[in-house]
Amino acid sequence: MSMKRWQMRRNCALTPKQLLKFYIALVCLSLLVATGFLLAGIWVIPIFTALELSAVTIGFLIYCRHALDCETIEIDGNRLIVKKFISYKEAIYEFNAQWAKIEPPLKDSKVFFISQSNLRVEIGQFMRQEQQLSLIASVRAYLG
């Protein structure tokens, strides 16, 4: 049996590289304006520019921390592997594909579970519920 793989990603408008380019342009423009006001003798504007850039930097760092989040389900023979990459931390869970069970999402739930014995992993946080149902059907076809 060949390896089968499904990957779910967070829906982000910008990649971290695109965000960095935008951030550099924003910082340059803000510093240019602040410098102009400082040269004109208005010293309050650079203070507010520093506060603004600090707040924007914190927001961008939080965005970048989660921009690459993803969940992966892999089936390779009798192995079912779930990988969760959240906030630059990776967790890997391994199941026996013959014994693993998929618990469908409860009504209005954002996630479903893959379980076996005492191991239960939440998955599907990056998908709409109708997408989850088709994914569950696809994965179940490879389970015992």
Give the pLDDT of residue 94: 95
Q: How far apart are CA 34 and CA 27, in angstroms?
A: 10
Secondary structure of residue 136 in the 3-state scheme: helix
- For the stretch 13-24, pLDDT in tens is 887 788 889 999
pLDDT tens-place string over residues 65-96: 888 899 999 999 899 999 999 988 999 999 99
Question: CB-based contacts of 26: which residues, under 8 Å, 6+ apart?
Answer: 53, 56
Q: How far apart are CA 50 and CA 77, in angstroms?
A: 56
**Distance from C-alpha of 75 to C-alpha of 140, rounded to nearest angstrom:** 11
Rg of the chain over CA atoms, in angstroms? 23
User: What confidence tier does 1 reach under pLDDT thresholds 50, 70, 90?
Assistant: low
Using CA atoms, how far apart are residues 113 and 128, in angstroms rounded to an integer? 15
